[in-house]
Amino acid sequence: MDMANANKNEVLNKSDIPNWALPEGELFARLGADTVHGLSAAEAAKRLESFGPNTIVQTEQTPAWKLFLRQFKSPLVVLLVVAAGASFAFQEWLDGTAIVVVIVINALIGFYMEFQAGRSMAALKKMVPVSAKVFRAGSLSEITIETLVPGDVVYLEAGDMTPADARLYESVQLQADESSLTGESVPVEKEPGELSADTPLAEQSNLLFKGTFITKGNGRAVVTGTGMNTELGKIAHLVGTSEQAATPLEKKLEAFSGRLIKITVGLVVVIFGVGVVGGKPILEMFETSIALAVAAVPEGLSIVATLALAQGMLKLARKKVIVRKLSAVETLGGTTIICTDKTGTLTLNKMEVEALVSPGGNWAKSENAAELPAKNLPEAQYRRLMQIAILCNNSEITAGKKSIKEIGDPLETGLLKFALRLGEDINKLRKQSPKQSEIPFSSETKIMATLHKTPEGNLVFAKGAAEEVLNCCSFLLDGETNAQMTPKARMAWLAEAEKMASSGLKVIAGAFKMEVKGSKELTDNLVFAGLFGLIDPPRKEVPAAIRQCREAGIEVVMVTGDHPAAAKAIGRQLGIIESDDADVVLGKEMPDYEKLKAADKNRWAAAKIFARVSPKQKLDLIRVFQENKAIVGMTGDGVNDAPALKKADIGIAMGKRGTQVAQDAADMVLRDDSFASIVVAIRQGRVIFDNIRKFVIYLLSCNMSELAVIAIVSLLFLHFQLKPLQILFINLVTDVLPALALGVTAGGPDVMKHKPRPTNEPIIDKVRWRRIFFYASVITAATIGAVYFSHFTIHAGDGWAPALCNNILFFTLIFTQLFHVFNMGSIELPFWRTEVVRNRYVWFAIGACIGIIVLLYQIAPVRTALSITPMSVADWGVSIGAGLLAMVVIRIGRNLPFFKNEKQ
Residue-wise pLDDT tens digits, 694-728: 888 998 898 889 888 888 887 787 878 887 778 87
Residue scoring higher pLDDT (217 or 264): 217
Residue-wise pLDDT tens digits, 414-451: 999 999 988 899 999 999 999 998 898 887 788 999 99
Residue-wise pLDDT tens digits, 2-48: 444 444 333 334 457 888 999 999 999 999 999 989 999 999 999 99
pLDDT band at 902 (very low <50, low <70, confident <90, very high): very low
- The helix-helix angle for 379-391 and 410-421 (nearest 10°) equals 140
Which pLDDT score, from 0 to 100, does residue 727 have? 80
Which pLDDT score, from 0 to 100, does residue 10 have? 39
pLDDT band at 247 (very low <50, low <70, confident <90, very high): low
- Give the separation between CA 518 and CA 522, rounded to whole angstroms: 11
For residues 395-419, give the mean pLDDT. 85
Longest dimension (CA), the chain: 118
pLDDT band at 621 (very low <50, low <70, confident <90, very high): very high
In angstroms, how far is CA 841 from the centroid of its own chain? 26
3-state secondary structure 322-350: EECCHHHHHHHCCCCEEEECCCCCCECCC
Which pLDDT score, from 0 to 100, does residue 672 have? 85
For residues 567-588, give the mean pLDDT. 90
For residues 365-385, give the mean pLDDT. 73
- Give the separation between CA 138 and CA 605, rounded to whole angstroms: 52
DSSP sequence for 163-182? -SEEEEEEEEEEEEE-HHHH
For residues 463-472, give the mean pLDDT. 95
Which pLDDT score, from 0 to 100, does residue 243 have? 45
- Give the separation between CA 307 and CA 321, rounded to whole angstroms: 18
- Report the sign of the C-alpha dihedral through residues 488, 490, 493, 499, in that order: negative
Residue-wise pLDDT tens digits, 109-138: 667 766 665 665 555 555 556 789 999 988
Burial class (CB in 10 A: 0-12, 13-18, 19+), 897: exposed
Burial class (CB in 10 A: 0-12, 13-18, 19+), 803: exposed
According to DSSP, the residues that pair with 10 across neighbouring strands are: none
Residue-wise pLDDT tens digits, 656-668: 777 777 777 888 8
Which pLDDT score, from 0 to 100, does residue 127 have? 54
For residues 826-846, give the mean pLDDT. 89
- Give the separation between CA 295 and CA 267, rounded to whole angstroms: 12
Which pLDDT score, from 0 to 100, does residue 328 have? 78
Report the run of H or E that residue 625 belongs to, with start and end. helix 615-627
Q: Average per-residue pLDDT in the chain?
A: 83
The residues near 437 (Cβ < 8 Å, ≥ 6 apart) are: 172, 450, 451, 522
By residue count, the chain amounts to: 904
What's the helix, strand, coil split of the chain in %, to 5?
50, 15, 30
For residues 90-116, give the mean pLDDT. 70
pLDDT of 472 higher than 90: yes
Residue-wise pLDDT tens digits, 44-53: 999 999 999 9
Residue scoring higher pLDDT (579 or 390): 390
User: In the chain, what percentage of residues exceed pLDDT 90?
Assistant: 36
Which pLDDT score, from 0 to 100, does residue 848 have? 92
Catalytic positions are 341
For residues 510-528, give the mean pLDDT. 83
| From 248-252, 397-401, 644-648, 809-813, the region with the lowest mean pLDDT | 248-252
Residue-wise pLDDT tens digits, 336-357: 999 998 888 888 888 899 999 9
Which pLDDT score, from 0 to 100, does residue 13 have? 43
pTM over 0.75, yes/no: no
- Give the separation between CA 497 and CA 563, rounded to whole angstroms: 9
For residues 265-279, give the mean pLDDT. 78
pLDDT band at 821 (very low <50, low <70, confident <90, very high): very high
User: In the chain, what percentage of residues exceed pLDDT 70?
Assistant: 84
Which pLDDT score, from 0 to 100, does residue 533 have? 95
Q: Which amino acid, one-letter code, is at 529?
A: A
Which pLDDT score, from 0 to 100, does residue 116 have? 63
Q: Which residue from 680, 821, 663 is spatially nearest to 751, judged by alpha carbons?
A: 680
The residues near 313 (Cβ < 8 Å, ≥ 6 apart) are: 120, 121, 124, 323, 326, 329
For residues 822-831, give the mean pLDDT. 86
Q: Which residue from 545, 620, 574, 653 is spatially nearest to 320, judged by alpha carbons?
A: 653
- Give the separation between CA 22 and CA 196, rounded to whole angstroms: 9
Residue 512 sits at φ, ψ, to 5 deg, of -155, 175
In this structure, are residues 189 and 472 in contact, taking their beta carbons and an 8 Å threshold? no
Residue-wise pLDDT tens digits, 167-206: 999 998 898 888 767 666 568 899 999 999 888 887 899 9
